[in-house]
Amino acid sequence: MTDSQKQRMRALVLHAVGDARLDDVPRPHIVSRDQVLVRVGFCGVCGSDIPRVFVKGTYSFPTICGHEFAGVVEECGAGVEDLRPGDHVAVFPLLWCGRCPACEKGKYVQCHDYDYLGSRSDGGFAEYVVAPRRNLLRVPDGVSLEVAAMAEPASVALHALNRAGGTGSGETVAVFGAGPIGLIVSQWAQAAGASQVVVFDIIEEKLELAKKLGVPHAFDARESDPVKTVESLTDGEGAALSIEAAGVPATLRQAFEATRRDGHIVLLGNPSSDVELPAPLLSRFMRRELTLHGTWNSDYSVSSRQDDWHKTLQAMADGTLRLEPLITHRVPLEDSFDVLTMMKDQRQFFAKVLIHP
């Protein structure tokens, strides 16, 4: 490889809404002592990437999307002493400012002035990415880069569960939406001691995947009324925790109705449209003294191993999480726009799609 070739890379570049091209672009390079050049192994396609590419766009153009990725250390800045080329790493994509009140408390997810790999800055639909050392975690032995690339959605799922205080042993958790994050949060709930996890969706393949992952109560919401189903499984009480993971108005209303007295509801799915809640349902919410939680992203720490990301990587290593069955597509970078278009048009079933350079 010539020196000029070493300065270039391939990337799927979003030039405008709907205009993504596989381009030959300058390879990012280290500009500060604390940065690391990562050769991308696999980058997952998040559900948010589809509207980002085809509807909403990014914060500026051109942009390289992709924020769910893991890879191999290629080069380290002069100040990085605990990583070396060849190390496998997962990348936390939120670049916090370190100056705002949230950052001073270590709540980087609430940073007032953050940057973000894959939406505000260039991300993982490329051969290489530069990231600060503080955003990198070693991938445990025995965890593949394919699975490690799902550390971001798995951490988001864990964060959603934690927003409601987790789940107590013997409690029922209802999950509305069996996409990748809905299925991962179902695994987290089982690991936390839920007596039963009940999953609803309208796509048969997703329900079959839920059963394959050990969730026996997986129902087609078109054939089994979700509220009545939850009530029948809980002696009429309802779920202690309902997680709305589809972002659909109907499933949000079902989550409200299916939750027991003094229960919790977590909004995890990105809303697809406005939601109108009828007065009787709001009255029911009030009388039952339910608690509604918002959730976004995940907790990450540079000083503790008790954050969502460290727990996720450990759960991958010890088998608590089974994520490989979620992978339905492994696509080379040159076919990345085609697979994004397939996902937009829903031409075939998919769960987790991984792009690899």
Domain ranges of the chain: 3-150+323-356, 154-294
CATH architecture of 154-294: 3-Layer(aba) Sandwich (3.40)
| The predicted structure's pLDDT at residue 168 | 72
- Residues in the chain, pLDDT under 70: 1-5
Phi-psi bin for 346: left (phi > 0), alpha (psi -120 to 50), beta?
left
Looking at domain 3-150+323-356, does it have CATH number 3.90.180.10? yes
The string of pLDDT tens digits covering residues 223-274 is 999 999 999 999 999 999 999 999 999 999 999 999 999 999 999 998 888 9
256: nearest Cα among 246, 266, 247: 266
83: nearest Cα among 151, 150, 34: 34
Residues 6+ apart with CB under 8 A from 66: 12, 43, 44, 45, 49, 117, 118, 123, 124, 125, 126, 355
Strand ranges inside 128-224, DSSP E: 128-132, 136-138, 172-176, 196-201, 217-220
154-294 matches 3-150+323-356 in CATH topology? no
| The predicted structure's pLDDT at residue 4 | 62
Residue with tokens 């027991």: 260
The Cα–Cα gap between 152 and 11 comes to 21
| The predicted structure's pLDDT at residue 30 | 97
The kind and range of the H/E element at 330 are strand 327-332
Say what the pTM is.
0.96
Both tokens assigned to 87 = 């190390």
333: nearest Cα among 302, 356, 303: 356
| The predicted structure's pLDDT at residue 272 | 83
